[in-house]
Amino acid sequence: MASIKNIFTPRTEEDGAFFYSIKKIISYRPKNIQLFEEAFTHRSKNEINPDGNQKNYERMEFLGDAIIGSVIAAHLYKKVPSGNEGYLTKMRSKVVSREHLNELGKDLNLIKLVRTFIPTTQFGENLHGNIFEALVGAIYLDKGYAAAEKFIHKRVVKPYVDIQKLEGKIISYKSLFIEWCQKNKKQFKFNVYEDTGNDTLKHFAVKLKLEEETVSKARATSKKKAEEIAAKRAYYKLKNKNR
């Protein structure tokens, strides 16, 4: 009955554009476009689905995150038969890092399809990755695990999962910097303070001290991001200094 109803229910121009945009991204005709509408709806819309629950991408994001992790884990397990649990876990973390998922969302320009009452320019970087995960969740609910796996292999594994490159990829410069300090018995400290600049979004500034010397500075919209940027700058500064 649902398919007959869809045939005789006229679509608005906007609905049609969304349908064909999704079809182009996922490479098949969606069976239930409402799933994808929910995957691209922000909580600011304050909408309720037919079951009486909140209609936004957050639950599908949770589902998609788990599916992406399982597909990548299975791929690495087959691709690197000599890899132990620690190695495989680290490699999977590199593929499904927040930074990488954000880039995947940007590559597909998913943000242009997000339904929200808040201007997308006010969102942080993570929205790109969150929507990518929600999209995977919607594909799984719409057509099953095999379809989600095929999409992940096409959009993630084939273009980005290069074992040799991943082995040299750094996930967290902060962790790397702390590890170096511990190994070399160096004292360090991240001095974080609120930035009172003129930006619309609140920023945090960081000074990274090694022993008594300030080795780098950074600012970002969160303490975590500012510390990571400062650690990255310090890492390359020390690397160049020790060449």
For residue 165, with 0-12 CB atoms within 10 Å meaning exposed, 13-18 middle and 19 or more buried, which class applies?
A: exposed
How far apart CA 70 and CA 92 sit, in angstroms, is: 9
User: 22, 114 in Cβ contact below 8 A?
Assistant: no
Q: In 31-125, where does DSSP find H-type helix?
A: 33-39, 58-79, 85-95, 98-107
15 is catalytic: no
For residue 10, with 0-12 CB atoms within 10 Å meaning exposed, 13-18 middle and 19 or more buried, which class applies?
A: exposed
Active site residue: 37, 38, 65, 149, which one? 65
213 is catalytic: no
User: 210, 181 in Cβ contact below 8 A?
Assistant: yes
Active site residue: 37, 133, 142, 228, which one? 133
How far apart CA 89 and CA 125 sit, in angstroms, is: 24
- Virtual torsion, Cα 9, 14, 17, 21, nearest 10 deg: -110
Which residues form the catalytic set?
65, 133
